[in-house]
Amino acid sequence: MTLKVKNLHRIMEEHAPAKFKESYDNVGLMVGDRDCEITSILVALDCTLEVIEEAKKKGCNLILTHHPLIFKKPNSITTDTLIGKKILQLIKNDINVYSSHTNLDSVKGGINEIIMELLGFNNYFTIDPSDRRGDNDNNTGIGRIATVTESTTLSELCDKVKTSLNIPVLRYSGEDSYKISKVAVINGSGQDYFSEARRLGADCIITGDTTYHYVSDFNEEGIPVIDAGHFGTEWPAMQVVAKWLKNQLKFKGYENFVFESEFSRSPYKYK
């Protein structure tokens, strides 16, 4: 059975409806043709020039990313800008790009909940529920807070995050011996939800992209912050999404191969 871009859109929409994206976000088909037949799919966190080249080499004519290729409307599409170079490369090589971002963060079984499962947290609720949820939807929204069932210190939790998310280093604040009972997890950049997490009883926050003053203030208030990085709190979940998509395609009768990008990596280096 032939898989077209519009079929992939339907599958992603069923799992993470675009209506659940945040107001500032841009999701869906970024570049491409809805009637195009898909050869293979490359799953990546970002549509970088390296990822585009990887798609070309692997014969993938659709790149599924978490972060939108087009976040803000470009004024022009030329080789003078990075976004222009990417779009022109994609069009030249007949490669489609589809992005599922904050809608995929928010839904049941989405990025945030996958990270919760990878960390071994089961008893959790949503920090900022979406106002577009249905009556029986108690999950959809940004961030999750879990009750820690076993006695855990901050130092132990840091080690668990590193192991579970397969990251070599992380940043954190707080006393190593601090006992944690309720932890908030917000994948990617979560600072906008720190105050609400605190109000809901979180005594530790795991996220990425933290800045000095936020962490300093919460440290003074006795709430540790574990910064596992934007990449570290999202790419492990996107790898799970790639496996989910492969299974979904097979279940629906499609035989297209799904690759996990070998060039999805953090831009940061550490010495």
Residues 114 and 213 in one domain: yes
In a domain, 90, yes or no: yes
Residues 37 and 119 in one domain: no
Supply the pLDDT for residue 16. Answer: 98
Residue-number span of the structural domain to which 160 is assigned: 107-227
Supply the pLDDT for residue 1. Answer: 85
In a domain, 269, yes or no: no
Task: Report d(CA 41, CA 61) in Å as an integer.
Answer: 7
The verdict on whether residue 66 carries a ligand-binding annotation is yes
Phi and psi torsions of 178, nearest 5° = -60, 130
The verdict on whether residue 260 carries a ligand-binding annotation is no
In a domain, 270, yes or no: no
Residues 118 and 223 in one domain: yes
Residues 67 and 90 in one domain: yes
In a domain, 219, yes or no: yes
111: domain CATH number? 3.40.1390.30
Supply the pLDDT for residue 52. Answer: 98
Residues 55 and 140 in one domain: no
Predicted confidence band at 196 (pLDDT cuts at 50, 70, 90)?
Answer: very high
CB atoms within 10 A of CB 106: 27
In a domain, 76, yes or no: yes
Torsion of CA 106, 107, 111, 117, to 10 degrees: 120
The amino acid occupying position 211 is T
For the stretch 154-179, pLDDT in tens is 999 999 999 999 999 999 999 999 99
In a domain, 265, yes or no: no
For the stretch 211-247, pLDDT in tens is 999 999 999 999 999 999 999 999 999 999 999 999 9
pLDDT at 271 over 90: no
Residues 142 and 203 in one domain: yes
In a domain, 51, yes or no: yes
Residues 114 and 212 in one domain: yes
Return the ∠ at Cα 30 (arms to 67 and 89), rounded to 5°: 95
Residues 219 and 243 in one domain: no
Residues 97 and 111 in one domain: no
Task: Report d(CA 113, CA 123) in Å as an integer.
Answer: 11
Structurally, the chain folds into a number of domains equal to 2
Residues 256 and 191 in one domain: no
For the stretch 89-145, pLDDT in tens is 999 999 999 999 999 999 999 999 999 999 999 999 999 999 999 989 999 999 999
pTM of the model: 0.96
Residues 221 and 239 in one domain: no
In a domain, 267, yes or no: no
Joined tokens for residue 115: 């990270």
The verdict on whether residue 230 carries a ligand-binding annotation is yes
